[in-house]
Structure 1
Amino acid sequence: WEGGRVSCLGANYYGQLGIDGVERSHTLIAPVAQELTLLRAAYDVNCGMWDEVPVCWGRDSFWRAGPSFPPTQMEFGRARDFAIGLDHLCALVEGGVVCLGENDRGQVGKRGDPTVQPVPVAVDGLEEAVAIAAGAEHNCAQRGNGEIVCWGDDRYGQLGIGTAAGSIPPREVEDLEEMVNVSSGRAHSCALHRSGEVSCWGRTSAGQLGREPRTLEGPPGRVQDLSDAVAISVGMTHGCAIRSNGRVVCWGDNRNNLCGNGKAEPRTIPPVEVPGLSDVRQVEAGWTSTCALTGSGSVYCWGDNSVGQRGNGTSRSFREITPCSKANSNNAVGDDWGRRWWSSSHVRTSVTSTSSSSVSNVPRSGFRSIRLSTLSSMSW
């Protein structure tokens, strides 16, 4: 859709298509009248940025149950970015980061109160944050000096501090310097070094940390055989990176061919190259599917297709990567963990330009997004 308009397809059990009375749709539905400049999709809720204010539709799990029709404006004031967790939402605002929603693991950042926080809470120590990422029950932020800090749930080492106690306020992740991006999955995170290496930490049940031994959880370690990454995206239990030559490699959970190599394996280590893709400008790892945008404007997807998340008009399974039939040269691809480890919604928007000058190659957070000068985001 031109000018920042959003359209959705897929499951609608919680109203994530933005309409009432429909379980799912294989045709595009336009739930939002506003022109959005940022879009993120999660398990059962979608959010976009309208005039620097997040608006959300779907199951309003951040502070009350039940579907949200029409899209609801979040009470953050003006925000530069936001990230969606399982039952919480964080926003990057002037002067720091604020969060609301479920706080049972400290993910909202409020000390001593595990209850749902319906009003945004300022997270201590993030006055210099420039980016945020949200996992299921943990969050990470990047400071302007390249440091990565995380807070919330740490049962699987997802804070990267070598303990399992959780943390409020945010704690700096060990052994990470000069980082340029951070992305979070369900219970792990990865960060991109300025050198092109990638470090991951947290849960490794499916090899999502990209290294051996697969049972090691906790402090960060380098992804094997990857030293020239220019962008990363982390899904529920897998990760992908764009290399400097424009090729894509993926690692971790490969049960639905999430790694794109035509196989269905419990885990894949080290990273494998996705065949048939070149000149990739952006990759977005979702819950059970992955999509990539090429320099020509074409979008290709691989992985599960049970609810049409590949965007090819069917719900049939394919072992190979397939083009998204609805995408064209005006489209770009993005995700916010949408159908990443949750969402059954598949949201797409279009942009007026996909030139290198308008695309910011910064897929971040548990929920991916892309930044275009006008708007650009496509999520499954």
Structure 2
Amino acid sequence: MSARRALLLALVAISFVVPACKRKTPPVAEAAWLGPTHACARIKVAGDVRCWGANGDGELWLDVPAPSASQLVPAPSLVPRDVRALGFGLGFSCALEASGRVRCWGVNDEGQLGDGASAPSRVPRDVAASGVSAIAVGARHACLVAEAGALRCWGANGAREVSPAEPEPRVRRPLRVELPGPVRAFAVGDAHTCAATSEPRTLTCWGESAKGRLGEHTDELTKAGITQLTAGAAHTCALTDAARVYCWGANDVGQLGDGTRVDSARPVLVARVDGATAVRAGRAHTCALLRSGTVACWGANDAHQLADGTTTPRGEPVPLHGIVSVREILLAGDASCVLLADGQLRCWGKNDRGQLGDGSTTPHDVPMPVRFSLGAPRVVASAGRY
């Protein structure tokens, strides 16, 4: 272990034991959402939403004048306090509110805002007025689950990732995707989409087909019962009723977790991951949350996505050291975060747009606390959109 890594781990450990009476206790999170270049969290007790990272297109919806900036630490956002879910793409954001309403804001060149227009907007635009139970956002397209489990998608459709039946390269309003039954789980990748239905049990993927990302021979997986789906740039993973994880698609950096570097259209069982309660995919890395409250990760590691002290990709899961009592895992792009049971949010990996929320643009190879400051937020100029 390098001296720098040992020091960082020691500092992280110290943060758990400093007596609270000697310092003001910073806010903690009750929910968090991570995108490729920006993130948000809802603060426990106070209930307000704070966001950080890329903001060149207004994707943070900040309550401060920072229209062309990267926000390096969490700042107050106008996202409603009762937000149920947030989804982030490249330059745009979408919110699912408690009422079932969905709104999106940011770039709109591919119809990402779902409002029927092509103009960008720093003010949220209505996608659906009510009745939505879930959303998922990819790089340039998004989907929602509406009444009776119907799936509707919109945005970039150059690879027919919005709908296999729609030839238009851009879909500017939510379009229903015909599936055999109500959706139980779904995931949106960079240019592909997957959905699992409950009755009958099916798995359907569409969009870009290279490297096997649409899957083949999935009968065994669907019989096992799919409870969660998650998609990276070119791979997809599923969590089954038996708490096992299967992945398919690109495997050039081990993102399928089967110990090989061979792409596979057939779902493969991830090695040494039993008792999983959640699975999440970044661009080319994947993590599973286990019943023990610990985390195992595999795949790309060039930006320290796996927090193992190296930049070596891993074809099989490696444990996330020093972190326990994890409540939720968050992955997007080349960054990762864990939300702990006590509300601490810790992130690592790529940080070029301040998406780790620690006040810097320095990548980190160990989980570092997001700085939920009691003081005024810090705003710095952005060098570019992404």
**Shared fold per TM-score greater than 0.5:** yes
Instruction: Say which of 164, 168, 177 aligns to 1:123.
Output: 177
In the aligned structure 1, how far is the partner of 2:166 from the partner of 2:182? Answer: 24
Instruction: Say which of 50, 53, 58 aligns to 2:101.
Output: 53
Q: For residue 9 of structure 1, what is the aligned residue in structure 2?
A: 52
Change (3 A) 1:136 1:258: same
Q: Aligned runs of 1:135-214 on 2, under 5 Å?
A: 135-145=189-199, 147-161=202-216, 173-176=218-221, 177-214=224-261
1:238 aligns with 2:275: no
Distance apart, 1:114 and its partner CA: 3.3
Distance apart, 1:98 and its partner CA: 1.1
In the aligned structure 1, how far is the partner of 2:92 from the partner of 2:151? Answer: 21
Instruction: Say which of 331, 335, 338 aligns to 1:285.
Output: 331
In the aligned structure 1, how far is the partner of 2:215 from the partner of 2:96? Answer: 30
Per-residue CA distance 1:45-68 (angstroms, 9 max, x = gap): 111112211111211244255531
Per-residue CA distance 1:283-319 (angstroms, 9 max, x = gap): 1112121111122222221212232222222223333
Q: For residue 139 of structure 2, what is the aligned residue in structure 1?
A: 86
In the aligned structure 1, how far is the partner of 2:194 from the partner of 2:324? Answer: 31
Change (3 A) 1:316 1:152: closer
Distance apart, 1:14 and its partner CA: 2.2
In the aligned structure 2, how far is the partner of 1:239 from the partner of 1:264? Answer: 15
- 1:102–1:114 Cα contact (<8 Å) kept: no
1:79 is paired with a residue whose SS is coil
In the aligned structure 1, how far is the partner of 2:368 from the partner of 2:73? Answer: 18
| AA aligned opposite 1:67 | P
In the aligned structure 2, how far is the partner of 1:76 from the partner of 1:213? Answer: 46
In the aligned structure 2, how far is the partner of 1:126 from the partner of 1:5? Answer: 40
Instruction: Say which of 292, 296, 315 aligns to 1:249.
Output: 296
Q: For residue 26 of structure 1, what is the aligned residue in structure 2?
A: 72
Q: For residue 355 of structure 1, what is the aligned residue in structure 2?
A: none
In the aligned structure 2, how far is the partner of 1:21 from the partner of 1:33? Answer: 16
Instruction: Say which of 272, 277, 297 aligns to 1:225.
Output: 272
In the aligned structure 2, how far is the partner of 1:183 from the partner of 1:76? Answer: 26
1:41 aligns with 2:88: yes
Any stretches of 5+ residues in structure 1 without a counterpart?
A: 163-172, 329-342, 345-380
Change (3 A) 1:313 1:73: same
Q: For residue 308 of structure 2, what is the aligned residue in structure 1?
A: 261
Rg larger in structure: 2
Any stretches of 5+ residues in structure 2 without a counterpart?
A: 1-42, 112-116, 375-384
Per-residue CA distance 1:102-124 (angstroms, 9 max, x = gap): 22212121525133122322111
Instruction: Say which of 296, 316, 335 aligns to 2:342.
Output: 296
Distance apart, 1:27 and its partner CA: 4.4
1:74 is paired with a residue whose SS is strand
The percentage of counterpart residues that share the same residue type is 27
Q: Single out whichever of 16-25 and 220-229 deviates more from structure 2.
A: 16-25
Q: For residue 365 of structure 2, what is the aligned residue in structure 1?
A: 319
1:175 is paired with a residue whose SS is helix
In the aligned structure 1, how far is the partner of 2:362 from the partner of 2:333? Answer: 17
In the aligned structure 1, how far is the partner of 2:245 from the partner of 2:138? Answer: 22
Per-residue CA distance 1:76-108 (angstroms, 9 max, x = gap): 653111111222221100131111222221212
1:276 aligns with 2:287: no
- 1:147–1:178 Cα contact (<8 Å) kept: no
- 1:75–1:119 Cα contact (<8 Å) kept: no
| AA aligned opposite 2:175 | V
RMSD: 2.4
| AA aligned opposite 2:51 | C
Change (3 A) 1:33 1:311: closer
Change (3 A) 1:180 1:80: same
Report the TM-score when normalising by structure 1: 0.77
| AA aligned opposite 1:131 | A
In the aligned structure 2, how far is the partner of 1:139 from the partner of 1:215? Answer: 21
In the aligned structure 2, how far is the partner of 1:250 from the partner of 1:327? Answer: 29
Instruction: Say which of 139, 149, 153 aligns to 1:99.
Output: 153
In the aligned structure 2, how far is the partner of 1:33 from the partner of 1:200? Answer: 34
In the aligned structure 2, how far is the partner of 1:101 from the partner of 1:317? Answer: 31
2:209 is paired with a residue whose SS is coil
In the aligned structure 2, how far is the partner of 1:97 from the partner of 1:81? Answer: 10
2:364 is paired with a residue whose SS is coil
Q: For residue 108 of structure 1, what is the aligned residue in structure 2?
A: 162
Paired positions, count: 319
- 1:56–1:72 Cα contact (<8 Å) kept: yes
Q: Aligned runs of 1:336-347 on 2, under 5 Å?
A: none
| AA aligned opposite 2:138 | G
In the aligned structure 1, how far is the partner of 2:366 from the partner of 2:130? Answer: 44
Change (3 A) 1:254 1:316: same
- 2:330–2:337 Cα contact (<8 Å) kept: yes
In the aligned structure 1, how far is the partner of 2:79 from the partner of 2:160? Answer: 35
- 2:72–2:355 Cα contact (<8 Å) kept: no
In the aligned structure 2, how far is the partner of 1:53 from the partner of 1:142? Answer: 23
- 2:212–2:263 Cα contact (<8 Å) kept: no
1:218 is paired with a residue whose SS is strand
